[in-house]
Structure 1
């Protein structure tokens, strides 16, 4: 398993709590979320470290859960692309994922 290039697991923070609420409190209920959905893209997310750690509310339950909120899912995908392109080229992103989210 590759280490995330988007978020430090050791911080025990929820990526979206920090981003949306400026809440940097440590959480016990974190779950790993791969930023790029689908079987093939999940493997690529793992390979390139395109994953974040989310509280239950932002991962699975409620209106701000990325599995049910397209706006937040697209935000994570755009952030994943930006993180990827800091290490690789835009062309490599397009070759791997085939879609621009920025």
Structure 2
């Protein structure tokens, strides 16, 4: 299991709580979310560390849950691309994922 290049699990924060609400409080209900959906892309997300940790509200339940909110899903995908390209390159991103989210 690769370590995330987007967000540290160690601080127990929800990635979207921090991003959307400036809330850096520790959470007990964190769930791992792979930034790139789909079976093949999930494996690639795991391999490259393109994952974040989300509270249940931002992961599965409610209007701001990435599984219910396309705008927030796209935001995570764009942030994943930025993190990936910092480490590798835009060309490598396009080779691996084949779609530009920025």
Q: Same fold (TM over 0.5)?
A: yes
Structure-2 residue corresponding to 1:76: 76
Q: CA deviation at 1:65?
A: 0.2
Query: 5+ residue gaps in structure 1?
Result: none
Distance 1:97 1:85 in 2: 12
RMSD, aligned CA? 0.2
Query: 5+ residue gaps in structure 2?
Result: none
Deviations 1:34-91 (A, max 9, x none): 0000000000000000000000000000000000100000000000000000000101
- Aligned residue pairs, count: 102
TM-score, length basis structure 2: 1.00
Structure-2 residue corresponding to 1:23: 23
Structure-1 residue corresponding to 2:53: 53
- 3-state secondary structure, aligned to 1:11: coil
TM-score, length basis structure 1: 1.00
Structure 1 consecutive aligned stretches of length 4 or more whose deviation exceeds 3 Å: none
